[in-house]
Amino acid sequence: MHVAPRSAEPGASEAPRLSRRHLLALGLAAPALGGCAAFDYRAADAPRALRQMPSLEPRPDIALVLGSGGPRGYAHIGVLRVLEEAGIVPDLVVGSSVGSVIGAFWASGLDAAEIDARSFEGGPLTVFDPTPFADRGWIRGQRLQDYVNGGLRGRSLEQLPRRLIVVATRRDDKTPRFFASGNAGVVVRASSAMPGIVSPVGISGIEYEDGDESLPVPVTPARQAGARFVIAVDVSARAGATPPDASAALRERDARRRARIDPEVARADFVIHPDLEYRAGPFKSYFVSSRRRGEAHARERLPALKSALKAALDERLGAPTRLAASRAS
């Protein structure tokens, strides 16, 4: 899967990475000489953007929110593994950026082990198509779109066996939009379109970019959808983790992202926030470290999560079975 490079991820601009210069030097971008026209998807299955999520029926018992974070997103796989082993089964997943990639494959019916295996197939060029002719970036995004649609066997968001909401950001005003129907690959591509790196994604005449630019950890749409219990997984750098030698620009970026995240996680019923290596990079060692740290932190937090779920169930006599199945054993 290899869902990075993401040079704007905290620390990544100061870490070794597959830069545009390196990729071009390897000759990997040379075949992609397709021009720089803006991408605008207008087919019959174009995803429908929503300013606000309507209440879903049946009402979700447990929503799992998977946040943005580039290569840090491998921690989501570790968290999913722990939840599955504990019998905690979300019936709604909400994803932003890399969280939308992991969320889409989970919503397709794959379990954590299957997503983990898929994530190590191929290299970065499995999902990235670098070219000097990309529109306002150096990665087009078409390969990610095709990778997702191929993995989902062409199913649209509303056809997936588990419910999924994907968050992307309107490029003109930086406000979030929510997608629960339409072409899954297109909307995951939009949610992952890092400004200056991945080309913006037009959908029915409106341009979108990375969900991280508006809602890195999108609890709001889960609440709007009516979720009874929201588990938020935040894989961003923890507050105060910025190294002393970080640039002023990087410190400012961390502060802005944290200002977007904090109000969202405050609305969740439970937060899982693994402590990941600050300097992220598109390397197998970082992917493995993130997945392991995500799993270890989720295991550490599992007793508290079970207690929180039990308390929520006790407040709602007769709550549906997924909450009941999540009680501490």
Distance CA 212, CA 54 (A): 22
Active site residue 210: yes
Run of H or E residues at 112:
helix 112-119
Nearest CA to 77 out of 233, 256, 215, 186 is that of 233
CA pair distance 260, 4, nearest whole angstrom:
21
Which one from 7, 13, 97, 199 is the annotated catalytic residue? Answer: 97
Q: Are the C-beta atoms of 129 and 2 separated by less than 8 Å?
A: no
Given 61, 135, 210, 254, the catalytic residue: 210
Residue by residue, DSSP assigns 83-107 as HHHTT---SEEEEETHHHHHHHHHH
Q: Which two tokens stand for residue 288?
A: 């493995």
Distances, alpha carbon 248 to alpha carbons 9, 235, 253, 259, 313, in Å = 15, 22, 9, 16, 46
Q: Give catalytic residues, as residue numbers.
A: 97, 210
